[in-house]
Copies of this chain bind each other. A is one copy, B any other.
Amino acid sequence: MLMTVKVQPPKTRIQRKNTQAILDAALEVFSRQGFRGATLDQIAAEAGLSKPNLLYYFPSKEAIHVSLLTELMTTWLDPLRDLDPDGEPVEELMTYVRRKLEMSRDFPRESRLFANEIIQGAPRMIGALEGELRDLVEEKSAVIRGWIAAGKIADLDPHHLLFSIWALTQHYADFDVQVRAVLGPGHDPLAEAGSFLDGLFTRLLRPE
């Protein structure tokens, strides 16, 4: 008896389109309202589907959320993964900063989804934080320590240097409303942040 083995779920064209619409809508809603604050009705409306139809594609509200978070966790760390131990130290770190800021500009909803989850105590992510994330940070911290020892960059605690990069770049996505309220109209916050952070980190990383 011959069968096509379904390694990945089959994914007809309709399935792909609808799961994508759902995830996109859910990202929009979860990133603003957090998990508890979001409702299936909002997500369904945003996706242009009926609520029972959502639950045809995903078994539960939580499944949608988890799906978003795991997808996010994978791509979110890419820029850090790409930090090249063999590259030119300052250039590598500046590239990392720039890419993180670009992500704040291009994927603010993802950034807010992440922020929401962390602020709420990371109930569904604490494992990934203490596992994947921690391991990656440990690995890259060692690289940075090497650069410091070699006198290539200033002497800065690698952990807190990374926290600084995260804080400074993600701030422009997560606190976008505040930033715009303070700057007033006629500003391009992300562009200004680009040159500001460029200068900041250039100065900061330069060994004395």
Contact = CB atoms under 8 A, between A and B. Distances in A.
Contact of A137 (B164, B182, B192, B199): B182
A32 B178 CA distance: 20
A164 B183 CA distance: 14
Contact of A126 (B119, B162, B181, B200): B181
Interface stretch (A11-19, A51-59, A145-153, A166-174): A166-174
A174 B119 contact: yes
Contacts of A179: 163
A130 B178 CA distance: 8
Chain A: interface secondary structure? helix
A134 interface: yes
Interface stretch (A33-41, A61-69, A82-90): A33-41
A154 B203 CA distance: 11
A98 interface: no
A196 interface: yes
Contacts of A162: 182
Interface residues of A, number: 52
Given A126-B181, A133-B181, A168-B168, A32 B121 contact: yes
Given A168-B168, A174-B115, A181 B130 contact: yes
A171 B163 contact: yes
A116 B32 CA distance: 9
Contacts of A49: none
Contacts of A199: 156
A142 interface: no
A151 to B, nearest CB: 16
Contacts of A34: 33-34, 36-37, 116, 120
Nearest to A192: B160
Interface in A173-206: 174-175, 177-179, 181-184, 192-193, 196, 199-200, 203-204
A177 to B, nearest CB: 5
A178 B36 contact: no
